[in-house]
Amino acid sequence: MQKVLILGATGQVGQELLKVLPDAIAPERSQLDFYQPAALEKLVTDSQATVVINAAAYTAVDKAESEPDLAALANAIAPQYIAKACQNLGAYLIHLSTDYVFDGTANTPYLETAPTNPLSVYGQTKLAGEQAIQAHCANYLILRTAWVYGSLGKTNFVKTMLRVGKERRELRVVYDQIGSPTWAADIARAIAQLIPQLEPSLAGIYHYTNSGVCSWYDFAIAIFQAARDLGWPLAVQQVQPIRTYEYPTPATRPAYSVLSGAKLRPLLADYPPHWQASLTKMLLELQ
């Protein structure tokens, strides 16, 4: 039986992982300091885990532009130390990464082998973390995902839309960025299915998102429709589609970040659920 250590158990995916892996070791946030990588390496080593899941990251995409050193510590340097500890333990490392390692110039779903070219500090530091893991650990599974939301953990696009949808009659949402909204609970279930299959030949980069694609505008419309169907109190009457340049942000985001999940699918019991089906389940849970 595998001894699993979850890093980042207070986050969206981390809390869902605890539901499907109730016997996992999950250090408190106070025990984890991603800005002290050597202490993190010791924590992993002392755990004597056989599988380490790193679900922690600096995820404030826009803030990272003004805090590149902090983002790099959490997203690039800490994973290196975690990888070194896993290598010494002989443990398997499962590490969550992001669609933001790509530049969004493609028009078909990104394969794991597609060239990376991150546009933001967040994407650059996450890519550096991937590279550090590959350099320091033989048995790793890097799982890139995208547009993550959940009922647990900190704020996300769904929670933000529900909050502002209660307060405002009209909203403006970007329609020229395309991706696949992905429920944290589905990511956790996929990881739980992968753990019993872990072996050296499986090592590599994989993509997992919910099925289907949409723009942020489409996603917002679907959130409000599903929430109304469930009786959610909303004030919003109109959602206006806008171009990215009309809503400037410190970080540049990829215009197209759909990930191909074809490589991972044979390892999963079920086809990844469609994003709209998972959205409805998440809203029911949140309600």
Choose the catalytic residue: 92, 122, 149, 208. 122
- DSSP one-letter string for 201-265: GG-EEEE---BS-EEHHHHHHHHHHHHHHTT------EEEEE-GGGS--SS---SB--B--TTTG
**Residue from 111, 98, 92 nearest 53 by CA:** 92
The residue to which tokens 């942020």 are assigned: 216
Torsion on CA atoms 43, 45, 50, 51, rounded to nearest 10: 40
Nearest to 192, CA basis, from 147, 138, 153, 143: 143
Q: Quick check: is 122 catalytic? A: yes
CA–CA dist 187, 1 (Å, integer): 21
Give the Cα separation of 54 and 63 in Å (integer). 21
> Catalytic residues, which ones?
122
